[in-house]
Structure 1
């Protein structure tokens, strides 16, 4: 099950966090993206470095612009009950770097990255 490999120590951003804060947190934690959740912990978006870099190509004040301006709101998610192969297929099909894992009420439980899936599959092959 995906719950066995998902990362539950997730850097979660608020939609009101600045883009600078998002990029700083990603760099400090060596991650390429982060889920965005509301005050109740409901997943409302996902932001990745590529989104931020595209935004920075335009003029703007990334130290004051909120994450909600740049985040992807249509986020592909998975259930903690899904298996690793199913998640791997979704990540490949959707061409994304990570997939948030949510419960039935859309509360964020964790995240699974491409690296997590690969490590799991390699471990199973050994």
Structure 2
């Protein structure tokens, strides 16, 4: 018989007793709701956003090394609005489309199930 890829000829291992059951959610309650404290913190950070932007602008214009102030300003903005989204572009060679290749392999077997090529 033809050789299988590495690891695929091993028998399947039984699932542990603590494994998720088929058809049953592992998180039936869903994501927990935000607490009032979390909501208050988000609102307070959003209120501070104009001041944080002013700090970033002053650092940008004055040009001195004020890493700690910039980090604090960014932390306030990110706490209120989240980190900015960074788009990821996927492309093939030289910026072209991604090519999907599907390979189908046929193996001729003898009547007893052995590979004819062997």
Q: Compare the two structures and name the one with the higher strand fraction.
A: 1
* TM value normalised by structure 2: 0.19
- Rg larger in structure: 2
Normalising by structure 1, what TM-score? 0.18
